[in-house]
Structure 1
Amino acid sequence: MLVDEEISQLGPVIEGDKEPGVNSEADDGNKSDKEVDKIVPGTFEVAESEDDEEAETSWMDFVGVAIGQIDSELAVNNPANDSPFFCREEEKIRKVTPENSEWFPFLNKEYLIGSLLVGYLHKLISRDLYHQIRVIFTLNQIKLPRWEALRLMRAQIRTLVNQTIVKQETFFGQPVFGLKASDVIKHDLMNPLVAPHIDFFPEDAHGKNIYKLSQSTKWLKHLASDLRVQMVESRKKHFYIYEPVQLRSSKFTIPIFFFSQQNHLFAKCTTPTFRSNK
C-alpha cells in the first residue's frame, strides 16, 4: 500500500458552520446537651454586594450551589428509620420530579435550605448542631426536614448526578477526595452552554493566528491512531478512519485523519494499491 502524504480534499465532510413547598414534618429533632454558640465557619460563602438590589437573595440561584456540594460528598449509610411518618416522607422523596416540584431535584425549599446548612466534605456540620439550628428555624415558622430525610434526599441527588468520588491519600496519610476526570468531561460535553465552545477536531490554520491547543502540531501530526477522531458524519452517512471509501470516480481511498479548516471538515487519506496474488 502506498501512502500519499498529500491532503486529499474529498470535499467538505460536513458543510457549514456548524412558593416554596410546605414541609409537614413534625419537629421531633433531638436537642444536644452540648451547647454550641456559633455555626461552623465557611458554611455559607456568599459574596457581598455594594448594591442593595443585587444583594437580595434569589433562592433559585442556590440550587446549583447545593447540588455541587452534594456531588462532592461521599455516600453515608445511615440507620434506617421505620417510623410511618418517615416512610411517607421517603415516598415523597422517591417520587420527586421536575413536574411536581419547582425546587427539583429538591423536594421543596426547606430541603434546599437544610442541604445548604449541612454543607459538604470537611465543612459538614454535626447532626446535633443541625437539629439545634432546625429548632431555631422552627421559632420563625420554618420547618426544616429531619436529618435522616435530608440525607436520603442528598443520596438520591448523588445518584442522579452520577459522579464518581475518587479517594486518595497524601504523602502524610491524610485522605483527600476528588471527582473522576472522565465524569467531569462527560458532564461538560452534555452541557449545552459548554459543548459549543469545545473543539472536537484538530484545526489546520496553516501556521497563522495560532491561539488554541487544537491548532498545535501535536494535534495535527503526532496524535496516536487511537486518540484521533474515529468517525465523522456527513449527509446522514458515517465515515470512519481506516475504512475504505469509494469515491464518485469509482476509486477507493482510506481516510486516516480528520481535521477542520475554515469551519469545514476534511480527511487526510491514503490511496491503496491493489496487487494480484498470482
Structure 2
Amino acid sequence: MFCSLYCVNTYTWPISKYHEPFNVYAILRYHDNLCKVNMPHWETIRRMMIRIRDIFHISIIGNLTVLNNRCSHLSLKHLLKRELSNPLIHKHLHFHPEDPQVFNVFASYQSAKWLEIPPHNLWVQMVSFCWKHFYIFEPVVLLRPNMPIMIPVFF
C-alpha cells in the first residue's frame, strides 16, 4: 500500500541537451502542470513578445557565433536614441554650444556639415544660450555631481 501511494521517479530530464527555448519551456510546463501551476502556452508568450517589440519599435539582431551558437542583441544606436529622447532623462542633459566669444561670427566652417550634407529630417536643432542661438555641436553632457558623461555624435 505504501509503495503504491509513494512512488519516486528516479529519471531526471536532461534539460542541458535541449538548446531550443521551446523545448525547455515545454518540459518546465509539463512539470508545473503536475504541480497544478497554470502557465501560459509558448505561443501566447511568443505572440506577446512580438507585440511588445512592435509597440516599442525594438528590433532584435540575431547572429551566429564561431561555434554556431545563436545569439541576439539590440542595436546600441537605437537604445541610445530611445534613452536620449526620453523626457525623464532629457531634463538631466545639458547641451554645450560652441561659442567663439566674439560679437560678429563670420566663420561658418561647420554650416555645410549641419545644413547641406544631411537631409531635412536629420537637421540638427539649435540651442539658445545667453540670448544667442547655436547649433548643437557637442550634443550631450549628463549633469551629475562628480560624474559628467559626454557622448559625442558624429554624422
- TM-score, normalised to structure 2's length? 0.47
Larger strand share, 1 or 2 = 2
Instruction: Report 1 or 2 for greater relative contact order, CA contacts < 8 Å, sequence distance ≥ 6.
Output: 1
